[in-house]
Chain A
Amino acid sequence: MMDIAQVVEDTAAKLLEISATKLPSKVKEALIQDEKDTEGSLGKSQLKAINENVNLAETFTKPMCQDTGLVSFFVKVGDKFPIKSEVKTALIKATEKATEKVPLRPNAVDMFEGNTKNNVGLRGYVPWFYFDLVEGDKCEIIAMPKGGGSSNVGKMKMVPPGKGIKGVKEFVVEAVAAAGPLACPPYTVGVGVGGGEDMCMNLAKKALLRPLYQYHEDENIASIEKELKDILNKLEIGAMGLGEGTSVFDVHMEFAARHPASLPVGVVISCWALRHAGATIDREGNVEFHLH
């Protein structure tokens, strides 16, 4: 019998390696295109350095950035998948393993005891899990390590509901302008609207997993995403914040219902290193890595 927990652990460790060392192809293409299109030498040189770095990381299977992020996993567990809570244990073990092997920078710092050195928090919560229960007999795992620099510019606001969608747009502009040159642009922006003060941030982060240039299935929302992308590029942040080149590759939005009295908006910004990788494991332990 195949040890499913071991398969989950090995797969998740591999996903952490892939995400730290290899950009999703859409992101890679966007950066290459941006280098071609950027005319100013200041911006072009930044993009050239980024692209060279991305290639080296992939060639040598080494992290593309010194900050390999805080680890989180998005997991969908099928009803008939043989293990459930053991998936969590396996993901924690995978995080420790990948920290050694890739290596990942030890990024889990306990407030009182200091760096745990293995990317696992002393009090639970890190790595962070987003669990979903689904039909079927498979388990889907997406690893998403997110850098501290770009997480530092995330923002949440309870917009007065009377301001409606205009208030949402204003806040997104304010949040990205405030990020300015600080978080290694070109950015991809995730926006979560609705739910509560916590849910909008979760949705915003989840929105970053959608492939670049794939818009929301609701046409209204898709057109707001495109509008915001154009507007945000008028900020002229540019590559590494030097004013030349694309500021924002894409804006992805997710909407949840909201309480009548509130309009929570979460903005989660990714740096150029928009890293994630996924795989699906079936009940026999066969692993299929997602197109990357």
Chain B
Amino acid sequence: MNSAECLWVYEVEEFGPLTVTIDSHGGNLTAESIKNIEANKQKILQEL
């Protein structure tokens, strides 16, 4: 493939540290964040 719109396979050394947002134990930082944003939104709208 010659374009930038594709998947690349890399071999890397010293990879990370990384943030795992979704793990295999059911943890999901994005879902948690969405929940928090939703709750904050309700509060904001009431006070507006």
Q: Do A and B bind each other?
A: yes
Give A177's nearest chain B residue, CB to CB: B41
- Nearest Cβ distance between residue A147 and chain B, in whole angstroms? 13
Contact with A along B16-43 (1 / 0, CB 8 A): 0101010000000110111011101101
Contact partner of A242 (CB less than 8 A), chosen from B5, B33, B44, B45, is B33
- Nearest Cβ distance between residue A268 and chain B, in whole angstroms? 19
- Nearest Cβ distance between residue B5 and chain A, in whole angstroms? 5
| Size category, A interface | 20 to 34
- Which residues of chain A come closer than 8 Å to B29, judged between CB atoms? 42, 242
Which residues of B are in contact with A by a Cβ distance under 8 Å?
3-5, 17, 19, 21, 29-30, 32-34, 36-38, 40-41, 43-45, 48
B33 touches A105 (CB 8 A): no
A117-B4 Cα distance, complex, nearest whole Å: 10
Q: Report 19 cross-chain contacts, Cβ distance below 8 Å, ordered by A residue.
A: A46-B19, A66-B4, A104-B4, A105-B3, A105-B5, A106-B3, A115-B5, A166-B48, A170-B45, A180-B33, A181-B30, A235-B37, A235-B40, A236-B40, A238-B33, A241-B30, A242-B29, A243-B32, A243-B33
- Nearest Cβ distance between residue A265 and chain B, in whole angstroms? 15
- Which residues of chain A come closer than 8 Å to B4, judged between CB atoms? 63, 66, 68, 103-106
Q: Decide if the interface of chain B is mainly helix, strand, loop or mixed.
A: helix
B37 touches A237 (CB 8 A): yes
- Nearest Cβ distance between residue B9 and chain A, in whole angstroms? 15
Assess whether A45 is interfacial by the CB under 8 Å rule: yes
Assess whether A231 is interfacial by the CB under 8 Å rule: yes
A166-B48 Cα distance, complex, nearest whole Å: 8
Kindly list 15 other residue pairs between chains A and B, CB separation below 8 angstroms, not including A68-B4, A106-B4: A42-B19, A42-B29, A45-B19, A104-B4, A105-B5, A106-B3, A180-B34, A181-B33, A234-B40, A234-B44, A235-B37, A235-B41, A236-B36, A237-B37, A242-B29
